[in-house]
Amino acid sequence: MLYRLLILFSLTFCLTGCPDFDKENKKIREEFKTNHFNLKLDKTLKYEGISFKLPSSFTRHFSHLHTVKNSSLTRNCGALNIYFSVERFDKKDLKRAFVSEYGIENDLLNTFQDAYVWRRYESLNEAGISIKKELPKSLKQKGVIQTVAGDGDYGTQTYYATSTIKVADNYYVFQWISSKPIMNYTYDDFERILKSIRKAK
């Protein structure tokens, strides 16, 4: 009897819960189109000494597969298949294995950026890396940005926009991960998120 009740409950959840989830995703996509394919940065988040803007449609993501530290902040938008993360590094992290081959004396900004980007590059097939660029001076903090693209384990091409920003004595690595079509529309949104970074009060 209990077994049958569990099956009935599962079916009820699938038939009544899933449409609501799909409806919410559809709403997010429609708002994205209505807003000229721009995301609304309508939520402020704080993370280990900084604050920044992010769309409220991005929800907590509990996986840290795409980051180095379990203390990283991760979010995703299921409606658009976008994954976002940020994690903080400092001098103590130079002892970590993923950094050891990329150390640049007196330049931790590029050390962490290079280590992170090449770590991502080595995890992909048929991968390519863009030229590293300095972030615009309109940004409050010093930083660099570049993209990595390649095929994952399932043969689908994924794009990674990665930026490292220096705030005080800390270095924050931001990631924006999506498919190529979505990246084409949202890369500028990622830049807007970076421009919103402030030292937390």
Report yes or no: 102 and 115 within 8 Å, Cβ to Cβ.
Answer: yes
Task: Summarize the confidence of residues 11-32 as an average pLDDT.
Answer: 67
pLDDT number for residue 17: 44
pLDDT number for residue 21: 62
Q: Which residues contact 64 (CB under 8 A, 6 or more apart)?
A: 70, 72, 74
pLDDT number for residue 99: 86
- What are φ and ψ of residue 113, in 5° steps? -65, -50
* Percentage of the chain modeled with pLDDT above 70: 88
Distance CA 179, CA 148 (A): 11
pTM of the shown model: 0.86
Distance CA 145, CA 166 (A): 12
pLDDT in tens, 51-95: 999 999 999 988 788 899 999 999 999 999 999 999 999 999 988
